[in-house]
Structure 1
């Protein structure tokens, strides 16, 4: 069993809403509202969900790019929320991020050489005399040539710019990389190349990924475990095969039913959710999905379901759903499988 690298416990990220003449806090956007999970060395854990569910905010909060409201974040046993900003800056040598937009996330006025050298200089990751050699190695690692080192970002394609972003993350020898929608802005063929590159790097460099995406096809290809979020909370978590083949939460089933099937003869059974996602400013009481769930009962509207497993699920596969509990207890028949 691999060692636990990251532990997140009851993480909350509430953004204040200012109002009035004095700019007082009048409410909060509950972007992340009590999220808990672990990541072990060498695995890829993916977070999926609709836009606005809190998946990217979770990744940013773990790195303290946004200061969390409350909770616990432990990296290799170190409490990241108890250390100063200067100490956290040093910790980022081991905690890197690949952003969604491969152009906006790198400085357009710097050459590739300057971009990669800056990361190593800030973190003092590589001696100055060895940086030129390291830059060439990084370019080769991500599939770019040494003749491109002195080019500017606008001279590269979107896929190539994302490779530069990956090289920058690798330049300080991190242990955990947060991939925040790292391939969603790329063409499908380029997505496949970048995903295969990430998998190759993981094997060779023993990297650990927190992979954030809304593309379930990509998630199925790259993940070891999957976390499904809805309106700031985890509704289902488990290993990839268990979640995709034995999903329990109605929201997870609806997401999976939306995956395109590359067969015109096979008409997929789509589950169409009614209504819109409620506002994270004033989320519903009880189960946050009950306003769109076709199986919601009075209990769903008043009691918040806890993440739990059942006898017929694999260890570690849990869902937060009263409907699942009633099926297990024989009180209801599954409406769909």
Structure 2
């Protein structure tokens, strides 16, 4: 069993919605609401779900780019929420992020050399006299010629800029990288190149990824485990093979049914969800999916389902209709 790198317990991230002349808090947006999970060394855990489900906010909260409202985040036995600014900066070298927009995340006024040098300068992990050699090494590591380090971001294509973003994340030798929609802004052919690069770097450098995406085809290619979120809640989490073979939550089943198929025989029946996603300002009581679920009954309206084991090892779902593991059925 791989060692646990990060453990997240009861994570919440609420955003106040202010209004009126005095700017008072009128409502609270519950972007992430009581989420718990673990990330293991060397794995790729993917988070999927529709826009607004809280997946990107979860990733940002883990790195304290968005300060969590409540909960506990333990990284290698260190409680991240108890660290001051100085200690947090030191710890951040082990946790980096690759952003969705490869152009917006790079300073257009700096050359690539300056961008990468800044990362090395902040953490001081490479002696000054050797930093230019480290930058050249990083460029080659992500498939770019070292001589291009003197260019500016606008002189590169989108895929090349994302390679530079990866190089910047790797500069401080992290253990965990949050990939926040890291390939969604790229052409399909370029997506495949970047995904293969990420997998190669993971094996070479023993990296751990939290991969955030709405594209299930991409998730299927890169993941070891998959966590499905809906309206700020985790509804299912499982090893990739188990989740794609036998999804247990109706929402996951609907997502998987929408994946395009190239097979002419035995076409999958698409599950069409009715209605819109409820507002996170006023989420439904009970199961948050019950307003769109074809299986919903009165219990779903009144009682929130717990995330419970559902058969295959490591497979959990939060649904009253999911077949509970016999060893745990009495507790639900």
Q: How does 1:103-142 map to 2 (within 5 A)?
A: 103-142=103-142
Q: How does 1:7-26 map to 2 (within 5 A)?
A: 7-26=7-26
1:61 aligns with 2:61: yes
After TM superposition, the score normalised by the length of structure 2 is 0.96
1:163 aligns with 2:158: no
Q: How big is the shift at 1:229?
A: 0.2
Q: How big is the shift at 1:266?
A: 5.1
- Indicate if the aligned counterparts of 2:309 and 2:324 stay in contact, CA closer than 8 A: no
- Indicate if the aligned counterparts of 1:180 and 1:213 stay in contact, CA closer than 8 A: yes
Equivalent-residue separation in structure 2 for 1:18 and 1:86 (angstroms): 31
Query: Residue 27 of structure 2 aligns with which residue?
Result: 27
Q: Spell out, residue by residue over 1:239-288, the C-alpha distance to the aligned partner (whole angstroms, 9 max, x if none).
A: 00011101000000000001111235553311110000000000000000
1:323 aligns with 2:321: yes
Equivalent-residue separation in structure 2 for 1:327 and 1:89 (angstroms): 42
- Indicate if the aligned counterparts of 1:296 and 1:323 stay in contact, CA closer than 8 A: no
Query: Residue 289 of structure 1 aligns with which residue?
Result: 289
Determine helix, strand or coil for the equivalent of 1:81. helix
Equivalent-residue separation in structure 1 for 2:124 and 2:290 (angstroms): 50
Q: Spell out, residue by residue over 1:189-223, the C-alpha distance to the aligned partner (whole angstroms, 9 max, x if none).
A: 00000000000000000000000000101101110
Q: How big is the shift at 1:8?
A: 0.4
Determine helix, strand or coil for the equivalent of 2:102. coil
Determine helix, strand or coil for the equivalent of 1:149. helix
Q: How big is the shift at 1:156?
A: 0.3
Query: Residue 187 of structure 1 aligns with which residue?
Result: 187
Equivalent-residue separation in structure 2 for 1:210 and 1:326 (angstroms): 27
Query: Residue 329 of structure 2 aligns with which residue?
Result: none
Query: Residue 257 of structure 1 aligns with which residue?
Result: 257
Coordinate RMSD, CA, aligned: 1.3
Equivalent-residue separation in structure 2 for 1:290 and 1:131 (angstroms): 55
- Indicate if the aligned counterparts of 2:180 and 2:213 stay in contact, CA closer than 8 A: yes
- In structure 1, runs of 5+ residues without a counterpart are 329-337
Q: How does 1:207-286 map to 2 (within 5 A)?
A: 207-264=207-264, 267-286=267-286
